[in-house]
Chains A and B, each alone.
Chain A
Amino acid sequence: MGTLLQALILGLLVGGVYALVASGMNLIFGVMQVVNLAQGGMLILSAYLTYTLWEATGLDPLLLVVITTPCLLVVGWATYYIFIERSRTTDASMALVTTFGLTLVTKGVIALIWGNEPRSVTPDYANRSFSVLGLRFPQAQVYACLVAAVVLTGLYLLLRHTWLGQSIRATASSSEGARLIGIQVRSTWAAAFALGVAAAGAGGSLLSVLYPFMPSSADHWIGLMLSIIVLGGMGSLPGSVLGAVVIALAESLTSTYVSPDWAAAVPYLAIILVLVARPQGLLGARLREDMSRA
């Protein structure tokens, strides 16, 4: 029983971080129907920024989200106007190819600046745990999960209760309808893309503390993000959270009861099962017009 509880606790803590990591990609898809394959590269870029800032300043790496998030917001904004907007006007599939190209470029630039060897951020609490009733709560996972919850709540409130959020959700439903009520659709798309990349910025800081990373880690994370949003429902933010928790729990239980080697296969098995049984995902909408459920 204790082993099961321990596996569930670890799964839930990691699930919170996964939810943040996937939410940005899902937001971008929900608003623009663009599968941003560059999101993995952005995540790793943020992890390296965190690493550099942590080494240079000694500040807590989890608190560095207040720097990496706005930095990636700007990167996302510029990326949208320079690359994505133009590719979207030609053909829908061009945006996919463009984001794939951006991933390659991002990984290449990271390798040029930081090299290809694995890095990790190890604050004092990296190997410490809280112990409650004989159960172990790793401090890094607990703090990372709390930061992820704060960022996700902020994103949710922004989408629900601000004019920017409402304009993003309206544009996701109908860009022509949005234009007719005076929403600047082009700026709104840019804002949604930037917010999505900013979420990867926050997620990158968190994962830098939890896992070692190198440029090619982007590929692992993009696979995981895709699994989460396909499972939870493409375009649904609550779906991202649910999908993330389910996958993290499945990984944790597989790792505990089967083998850590099999845990990495869980997300891909989840994709296959979901595509067969419920293609719209656990909380996804069947209609494209309902894709923007925040």
Chain B
Amino acid sequence: MITFKNLVAGYGRAGDILRGIDFTAPESAITCIVGPNGAGKSTVLKACSGLLRPRGGQVLLGDEEIGGRSPAEILRRGVVQVPQHHGLFPSLTVRENVMLGAFVNRRERDRNRRRYEEIAQVFPLIAERAGDKAASLSGGQRRTVEFARALMLRPRVVLLDEPTLGLDPKACKQIADSITTLNKEGVTVLMVEQNVRFGLTLADHAVVMEGGRVLHTGAADALLADPDMGRLFFGAAPEQQETS
């Protein structure tokens, strides 16, 4: 379970992007953060993974404060982020990319090798394309490799930043399957998604953000069915979005 308490964060000398965030991503569930551009959705994930040091408030993994720790320390506690861009290393092979997911535990060679074999069974693509350069993969396949890599450390929490960004509908279906696979492994998923219908259909819980603040939290299916929320925050009701 990840809890954000009055979280304040921003970049450089600029003003705060997050202005007191409060919500909880429940254990073993999929939580989706939605909201307009500039709402601070990705910043929440960066503050959680250690890429960004919070200026105030707390990020709690269970009861432990992880806000302000380094990415490596947070990884060791079981929180892994799959970033929006540049998460994969194109010049490395698929196998090397996946194995690097265990970089912080690199001395445990046998355990890492066993874990890799397990993951290759869950994601057949990993076994099929093990020796290929990641640069040769399609967008959806790249995402699958990133998800597979995220599982190397048997994470408690996976943070997904715009997992369907730039992908076609077929690749989005692959991603949905991969996220479901992650969740079936008992992983808590906290994701940011611009494709509101995709995110809320997949998620158990929803968080709506705007201007660095949380406007609404609740069940994802309820939010999806609420025409007022659709009109207010997504420009149109979900049914209208789908047909537009």
Binding site for B on A (CB under 8 A): 163, 166-167, 169-170, 172-174, 176-184, 285, 287, 289-294
Q: A173-B90, A180-B83, A285-B91 are in contact. List 13 more A-B contacts (CB 8 A).
A: A163-B106, A166-B99, A170-B100, A173-B91, A173-B92, A177-B86, A180-B51, A181-B75, A181-B103, A182-B103, A289-B86, A291-B91, A294-B91
B219 to chain A: which residues have CB within 8 Å? none
A178 vs B72: C-alpha distance when bound (angstroms): 10
In the complex the two chains form, what is the Cα distance from A174 to B135 in whole Å?
A: 13
What are 24 A-B contacts with C-beta separation under 8 Å?
Answer: A166-B96, A166-B100, A169-B92, A173-B88, A173-B92, A174-B86, A174-B89, A176-B51, A178-B89, A180-B49, A180-B81, A180-B87, A181-B75, A181-B101, A181-B103, A181-B149, A182-B71, A182-B104, A183-B72, A183-B103, A287-B90, A289-B86, A290-B90, A292-B91
Instruction: Let me know if A179 and B51 touch, CB within 8 A.
Output: yes
Q: Which residues on the A side are within 8 Å of B89 (C-beta)?
A: 169-170, 173-174, 177-178, 292
CA distance A48 to B149 in the complex (A): 47
Residues of A within 8 A of B104 (CB): 181-182
Least Cβ distance of A285 to chain B in Å? 8
Give, as a whole number of angstroms, the nearest-CB distance from A205 to chain B. Answer: 31
Which chain A residue lies CB-closest to B97?
Answer: A170
**Docked-complex contact B91 and A179, CB < 8 angstroms:** no
Q: Which residues of B contact A166 (CB under 8 A)?
A: 92, 96, 99-100
Q: A170 vs B81: C-alpha distance in the bound complex, in angstroms?
A: 16
Q: What is the count of residue pairs linking A and B with beta-carbon distances less than 8 angstroms?
A: 73
Contacts of B76 in A (CB 8 A): 182
Flag if B72 contacts A182 (CB, 8 Å). Answer: yes
The 3 A-B pairs at the shortest CB distance, nearest first, are namely A173-B89, A182-B104, A174-B86
Docked pose: A173 CA to B85 CA in angstroms: 12
Which residues from chain B contact A173 at a C-beta distance below 8 Å? 86, 88-92
Q: Please determine whether B100 and A181 come into contact, CB atoms closer than 8 angstroms.
A: yes
A274 to B198, CA, bound (A): 48
- Smallest CB separation, A227 vs chain B (Å): 24
Q: How far is B83's CA from A178's CA once the two chains are assembled, in angstroms? A: 11
Min C-beta distance of B166 to chain A, whole Å:
15
Q: Range of interface residues on chain B?
A: 20 to 34
Q: Are B88 and A177 in contact (CB under 8 A)?
A: yes
CB of B192, distance to nearest CB on chain A (Å): 15
**Chain A residues near B71 (CB, 8 Å)?**
179-180, 182
Closest to A164 in B: B106
Given A163-B106, A166-B100, A180-B81, residue A174 in contact with residue B51 (CB < 8 A): no
Known A181-B100, A183-B103; contact A176-B83, beta-carbon cutoff 8 A: yes
Residues of A within 8 A of B49 (CB): 180
Closest partner residue, chain A, to B106 (CB atom): A163
- Nearest A residue to B96 via CB reads A166
1/0 per position for B37-72, CB-CB distance to A under 8 A? 000000000000101000000000000000000011
User: Closest Cβ of chain A: how far from B98's Cβ, in Å?
Assistant: 11
Pairwise interchain contact A177-B91, C-beta atoms closer than 8 A: no
> How far apart are the CA atoms of A55 and B86 in the complex, in Å?
51
Bound state CA distance, A14 and B18, in angstroms?
Answer: 60
Contacts of B90 in A (CB 8 A): 173, 287, 289-290
Say how far A258's CB is from chain B's closest CB, in angstroms: 39
Chain A residue contacts of B81, Cβ below 8 A = 180
**Shortest Cβ distance from A185 into B: residue:** B71
Q: List B residues 121-137 near A (Cβ within 8 Å).
A: 135
Q: How far is the CB of B130 from chain A (nearest CB, A)?
A: 15
- A172 near B96 with CB under 8 A, answer no
Q: A181-B103, A182-B103, A182-B104 are in contact. Are A174 and B87 (CB under 8 A)?
A: yes
In angstroms, how far is the closest chain A Cβ from the Cβ of B32?
A: 20
